[in-house]
């Protein structure tokens, strides 16, 4: 064995030692590197959540009474009142003698028209009447005198006497007609003078006065003053619910939190065709037991029952649900919510009648 062959095993052993040392170093380095990395956290499964038990507020289905009512406001008016007008002649206002709220008596003068020219006409007519009276008296005197003279005049024939008497009778007739026509003319002017005074036909309170001023023209049949009897009052209602009332309907009337009984005594259907336009949308209510301090113009609440159901299923309106044309309620059955279609009847402000869809004793969910 030569020298080279002896040296090869030694070299191989040294190389193996180097490889071993390198592997040990790499292992140590890898172990050290792994110890320096952060450790991963273990993800825990979330805890199981038990759902809360659903609770409902319910209402037991029972029978009761339901009323459909209307509540409107009326105003007291006098059922004995007069719209006073100049009916025979118009003219310029000379004097307004009353004001709103004033009490008047039957026959009191309320207003007057200017009658200056009318007074002059009356003076002239009285003169004409007096002249006519003198003419008549003279014609009568002449007839009496001439008739007596003619009958005793022997020179006058019977034919001539009759002719003269006829002429004097004619003159007397014409004088009488003149007297009568002048008397009628004076009466007409005097009546016109009286009609220039607007007179109250009743006792009462003045509730309206025209706003025409002194010197302004007033037409015939224009209301100048309205007088109403404050002792004869009724409630008047005029609005969009007039059609809900019928004559004879019993109502309640509330004034200052005190309730009185009333009855509908007039509706538009009771009026004649030619009734005043202002009354064609009016309901009148007579109230019993009114105190003395009730006055024209005071407001009061009128409550009328339009429909009444007894011994029927009644629910509060908030228990109903409406959706896509359906009307239904939620019923609690076997601890489960069940939608139930229902048919409703009459309704009041807070409640509704159920005519189909529910049975007594069932529990309706209201919240």
pLDDT tens digits in sequence order for the chain, 367 residues long: 444 445 455 455 555 556 555 555 555 444 554 445 455 555 666 666 666 777 889 999 999 999 999 999 999 999 888 999 998 888 899 999 999 989 999 999 999 998 878 888 889 999 999 999 999 999 888 888 877 766 666 666 677 767 778 888 898 899 999 999 999 999 988 888 888 899 999 999 998 999 999 999 999 999 999 999 988 899 999 988 999 999 999 999 999 999 999 999 999 888 877 777 777 789 999 999 998 889 888 999 999 999 999 999 999 999 999 998 899 999 999 889 999 999 999 998 899 999 999 999 999 998 8
For the domain made up of 88-225, the CATH class stated in words is: mainly beta
> CA-based Rg of the chain, rounded to a whole angstrom?
56
CATH for the 71-80+226-307 domain, from 3.40.50.880, 3.40.50.720, 2.60.40.10, 2.40.30.170: 2.40.30.170
Give the C-alpha separation, 330 to 363, whole Å.
Answer: 9
The dotted CATH code for 58-66+309-365 is 2.40.420.20
Give the C-alpha separation, 121 to 103, whole Å.
Answer: 35
Tally of CB atoms within 10 A around 104 = 19
Helix segments in the chain, DSSP class H: 3-36, 116-152, 158-195
Residue 209 DSSP SS3: strand
Give the C-alpha separation, 66 to 315, whole Å.
Answer: 10
Residue 302 DSSP SS3: strand
Instruction: State the span(s) of the chain assigned CATH 2.40.30.170.
Output: 71-80+226-307
Give the C-alpha separation, 176 to 168, whole Å.
Answer: 12
Strand partners for 112: 95, 197
Backbone torsions φ then ψ of 165, nearest 5 degrees: -65, -40
Instruction: State the span(s) of the chain assigned CATH 2.40.420.20.
Output: 58-66+309-365
Q: What is the pLDDT of residue 128?
A: 94
Question: For residues 236 and 284, is the Cβ–Cβ distance under 8 A?
Answer: yes
H-run or E-run covering 263:
strand 258-266
Instruction: State the span(s) of the chain assigned CATH 2.40.50.100.
Output: 88-225
Q: What is the pLDDT of residue 25?
A: 57
Q: Model-level pTM greater than 0.75?
A: no
Backbone torsions φ then ψ of 84, nearest 5 degrees: -100, 130
Q: What is the pLDDT of residue 4?
A: 44
Q: What is the pLDDT of residue 15?
A: 55
Q: What is the pLDDT of residue 34?
A: 47
Q: What is the pLDDT of residue 98?
A: 94
């Amino acid at each position: 064995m030569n020298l080279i062959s002896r040296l090869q095993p030694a070299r191989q052993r040294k190389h193996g030692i180097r490889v071993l040392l390198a592997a040990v170093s790499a292992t140590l380095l890898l172990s050290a590197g792994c110890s320096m990395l952060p450790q991963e956290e273990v993800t825990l499964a979330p805890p199981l959540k038990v759902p809360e038990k659903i609770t409902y507020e319910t209402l037991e289905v029972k029978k009761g009474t339901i009323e459909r009512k209307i509540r409107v406001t009326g105003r007291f008016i006098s059922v004995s009142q007069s719209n006073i007008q100049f009916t025979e002649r118009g003219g310029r206002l000379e004097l307004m003698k009353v004001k709103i709220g004033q009490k008047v008596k039957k026959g009191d003068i309320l207003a007057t028209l200017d009658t200056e020219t009318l007074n002059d006409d009356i003076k002239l007519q009285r003169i004409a009447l007096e002249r006519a009276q003198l003419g008549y008296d003279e014609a009568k005197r002449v007839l009496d005198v001439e008739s007596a003279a003619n009958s005793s005049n022997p020179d006058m024939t019977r034919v001539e006497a009759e002719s003269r008497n006829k002429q004097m009778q004619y003159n007397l007739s014409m004088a009488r007609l003149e007297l009568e026509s002048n008397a009628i003319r004076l009466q007409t002017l005097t009546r016109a003078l009286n009609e220039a005074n607007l007179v109250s036909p009743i006792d009462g309170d003045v509730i309206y006065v025209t706003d025409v001023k002194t010197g302004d023209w007033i037409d015939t049949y224009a209301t100048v003053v309205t007088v109403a009897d404050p002792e004869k009052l009724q409630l008047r209602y005029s609005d969009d619910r007039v059609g809900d009332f019928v004559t004879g309907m019993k109502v309640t009337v509330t004034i200052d939190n005190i309730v009185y009984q009333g009855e509908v005594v007039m509706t538009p259907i009771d009026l004649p065709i030619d009734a005043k336009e202002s009354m064609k949308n009016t309901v009148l209510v007579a109230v019993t037991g009114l105190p003395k301090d009730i006055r024209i113009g005071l407001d009061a609440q009128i409550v009328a029952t339009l429909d009444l159901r007894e011994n029927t299923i009644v629910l509060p309106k908030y228990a109903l649900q409406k959706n896509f044309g359906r009307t239904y309620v939620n019923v609690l059955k076997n601890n489960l919510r069940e939608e139930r279609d229902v048919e409703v009847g009459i309704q009041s402000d807070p409640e509704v009648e159920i005519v189909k869809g529910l049975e007594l004793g069932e529990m309706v969910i209201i919240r």
